[in-house]
Amino acid sequence: MNFSFEVAKTDAGGARRGRLATPHGTIETPVFMPVGTAATVKGLTQEALEELGAGILLANTYHLYLRPGHELICQLGGLHRFMSWPRAILTDSGGYQVFSLAELRKITDEGVRFRSHLDGSEHLLSPEKAAEIQLALGSDIAMVLDECIETPAPRDKAEAAVRRTTEWARRARNYFEVTALLPGDRPRYLMGVGRPEQLADYVTLGIDMMDCVLPTRAARHACLYTSEGRVLIRNARYAQDQRPIDPACACSVCRRYTRAYLRHLFAAGELTAAILATHHNVHFYLDIMGQIREAIEFGNLAKFSSEMRARYVAGPV
């Protein structure tokens, strides 16, 4: 099986520099994974993602199960072929979406019974069902169903959720061992983080993989990330600003367009605003991770982390 994880170096602070081999390519870690919830990263084509150097995307089990359906995607040759994405795909279990999006959810040891946020239809998501859906999608890295609880929570409630999730993981593992797809190696994946200045801190804690909607969602809300801090591009101060979003950035948007033009596109509510801003922000996140990997190799991640934080704590530039 084309699946292995090797840690090439661990720095003094605990950060790991590794390589994760998947059936759809090898990923340099630590890695940031753009989020393609419904089999698309909002505002970016797969060509653009390839140009940006993304080696792995996240897709969402809950959303794809409800629409267009994992069986349909399976019939059409699996998720890679359906969305024309030849590189790796990680799917989450749907646990968080059932917790946060679905209606009338009821959690038992069996699984989660819920109503779809799309049409109110009733479904049961069990650890085995979550595994079955992800197998049908053909994801390279699957997640086990987890029980998500609201925080803060009393200790007994948190412990019960951990016990149930661990039992669900055992059942999912049994399901997969029918299918023998679980990797023996263990990269560490922290789901749904984070802000630009937090990425290096998580890596320092030994995290190998992260994903977050922040770069794409912030882009659609006119918040651009730069090497100097956040640029809130709707601000009137950028109306005549002929500089690129980030003069230090090499992305195709920064090579061509000005802040004045981006601001105009957002003011006019144009689709192209989201396209250009998303392209830049995803480039920024992937570029930061490249810098973090380099910093681990050269042993200066702590310095990189503190510089990054200093630029971002000051608020928008």
Measured from the CB of residue 65, what is the shortest distance to its own copies in angstroms?
A: 13
Please tell me whether residue 44 binds its own copies under the rule CB under 8 A.
Answer: yes
Q: Which of residues 129 and 263 has its CB atom nearest to its own copies in the complex?
A: 263
Has 208 been annotated as catalytic? no
- Does the annotation mark 185 as catalytic? no
Q: Using CB under 8 A, pick the residue from 2, 4, 10, 75 that binds its own copies.
A: 75
- Binding status of residue 256 toward its own copies by CB under 8 A: yes
How crowded is residue 85: how many other Cβ atoms within 10 Å of its Cβ? 22
| Strands of the 112-115 sheet, one edge to the other | 103-107, 112-115, 122-125
State how far Cα 128 lies from the chain centre.
Answer: 23
Q: What crossing angle do the helices spanning 127-137 and 155-179 adopt, rounded to 10°?
A: 50
What distance in Å separates the CA atoms of residue 108 and residue 115, rounded to the nearest whole number? Answer: 15
Residue 58 found at the interface with its own copies (CB under 8 A): no
Residue 28: how many other CB atoms lie within 10 Å: 15
CB-based contact 286:57 (threshold 8 Å): no
Query: Nearer to its own copies by C-beta: 230 or 263?
Result: 263
Tell which residue, 22, 137, 147, has the closest CA to residue 87: 22
116: contact with its own copies by CB under 8 A: no
Could you give the dihedral angle defined by the CA atoms of residues 24, 61, 79 and 284, in that order, rounded to the nearest 10 degrees?
-60
Catalytic residue among 92, 146, 201, 246: 92
Q: Which of residues 79-98 bind its own copies (CB under 8 A)?
A: 82-84
| Backbone phi, psi, residue 169, to 5° | -65, -40
Out of 110, 122, 270, 294, which residue is the one contacting its own copies (CB under 8 A)?
270
Least Cβ distance, residue 38 to its own copies (angstroms): 4
Asked whether 96 and 147 are in contact (CB, 8 A), the reply is: no
CB of 83 to its own copies, least distance (A): 6
Least separation in angstroms between residue 68's CB and its own copies is: 5
What is the DSSP-derived secondary structure letter of residue 35? B
Q: Which of 140, 201, 208, 211 is catalytic?
A: 211
Smallest distance from its own copies to CB 292, Å: 28
H runs (alpha helix) in 151-250: 155-179, 199-204, 214-220
Position among 88, 133, 142, 274 found at the interface with its own copies (CB under 8 A): 274
Cite the active site residues.
92, 211
Q: By the criterion CB under 8 A, which residues form the site for its own copies?
A: 38-47, 63, 67-68, 72, 75-77, 82-84, 239-240, 242, 252, 256-258, 260-261, 263-265, 267-268, 270-272, 274-276
